[in-house]
Amino acid sequence: MNKPKYRRILLKVSGEALLGDNTFGIDHQVVKKIVEELKEVYKLGVELGIVIGGGNIFRGVAGQKSGMDRVRADNIGMLATLINALIIQDALISQKIPCRVLSAFEIIKVAENYIREKALIYLARKEVLILACGTGNPFFTTDTAAVLRALELKAEILFKATKVDGVYDKDPIKDSTAKKLDTLTFDEALIKKLKVMDATAFSLARDYKLPILIFNLLKPGNIKKAILGKNIGTLVIP
Per the annotation, does 143 bind a ligand? no
The C-alpha atoms of residue 109 and residue 201 are separated, in whole angstroms, by: 30
The angle that helices 28-43 and 70-94 make with each other, rounded to 10 degrees, is: 60
Q: Euclidean distance between the first and final Cα of the chain, in Å? A: 30
The C-alpha atoms of residue 58 and residue 54 are separated, in whole angstroms, by: 6
Per the annotation, does 24 bind a ligand? no
For residue 132, how far is the Cα from the chain centroid?
Answer: 11
Per the annotation, does 6 bind a ligand? no
Per the annotation, does 74 bind a ligand? yes
Per the annotation, does 168 bind a ligand? yes
Per the annotation, does 137 bind a ligand? yes
Per the annotation, does 141 bind a ligand? yes
Q: At a CB cut-off of 8 Å and minimum separation 6, what does 196 contact?
A: 160, 167, 184, 189, 202, 212, 214, 236
Per the annotation, does 149 bind a ligand? no
The C-alpha atoms of residue 48 and residue 105 are separated, in whole angstroms, by: 21
Per the annotation, does 122 bind a ligand? no
Per the annotation, does 55 bind a ligand? yes
In this structure, which amino acid lies at residue 40?
A: E
Per the annotation, does 63 bind a ligand? no
Per the annotation, does 67 bind a ligand? no
Per the annotation, does 144 bind a ligand? no
Per the annotation, does 202 bind a ligand? no
Per the annotation, does 71 bind a ligand? no
Per the annotation, does 134 bind a ligand? no
Per the annotation, does 166 bind a ligand? no
Sheet holding 112-113, edge to edge: 112-113, 99-103, 128-132, 47-52, 8-13, 157-162, 212-216, 234-237, 183-185
Per the annotation, does 136 bind a ligand? yes
Binding-site sequence positions for ATP: 12-15, 55, 59, 162, 168, 171
Binding-site sequence positions: 12-15, 54-55, 59, 74, 135-142, 162, 168, 171
Binding-site sequence positions for UMP: 54, 74, 135-142
